[in-house]
Amino acid sequence: MALRAAIVLWSAQGQSATSIARTLGITPRTVHRCRQRWRNMGMEGLADSPRPGRPPRVSPEYLELLLRTVETDPRQLGFVFSRWTCARLASYLEQRTQVAISPWWVNELLHCHGFAWRRTKLTTQHLADEGEKRDLL
């Protein structure tokens, strides 16, 4: 949208389509199309047109539930585990929303919102007794 707005502003200042295209690294044809959309539709012509393809399965409500759930202790929701995994989150949210999202995609959504996942490492550091540590190893 910003690119189309720049085209309209520079056109209003008297810049040629070739000059605008060279400055922005686009084709003059793109400049002409943008100008035409501006003349026909005004400000609405600057907005993106709908894109073809499958509509997204993740709604804003789903995303809100995901972000709220990931910050909730699973034990508060009746689970026996204390940490979420992407697979657990995907399964839980599928039960709640009937929307099936892969664990990989859940991870991508969380990553886009600033969450970082790491695999839990098995460790014996929390055990005080050396005998217990040897038995586990």
Residue 46: per-residue pLDDT: 83
Name residue, tokens 């400055």: 23
The percentage of residues in the chain with a pLDDT greater than 70, rounded to a whole number, is: 85
Global pTM reads 0.52
Residue 50: per-residue pLDDT: 80
Residue 29: per-residue pLDDT: 94
Does the pLDDT of residue 119 top 90, yes or no? no
- Report which residue type is found at 6: A
- The answer to whether the CB of 66 falls within 8 A of the CB of 109 is yes
Can you give the residue ranges of every domain in the chain? Answer: 2-46, 60-112
Q: Using one digit for the tens of pLDDT, what is the confidence trace for 50-79?
A: 878 888 889 999 999 999 999 999 999 999
Residue 42: per-residue pLDDT: 87
Mean pLDDT of the chain: 85
Taking the C-alpha atoms of residue 37 and residue 41, their distance in angstroms, rounded to an integer, is: 6
Angle, alpha carbons 79-81-84 (nearest 5°): 95
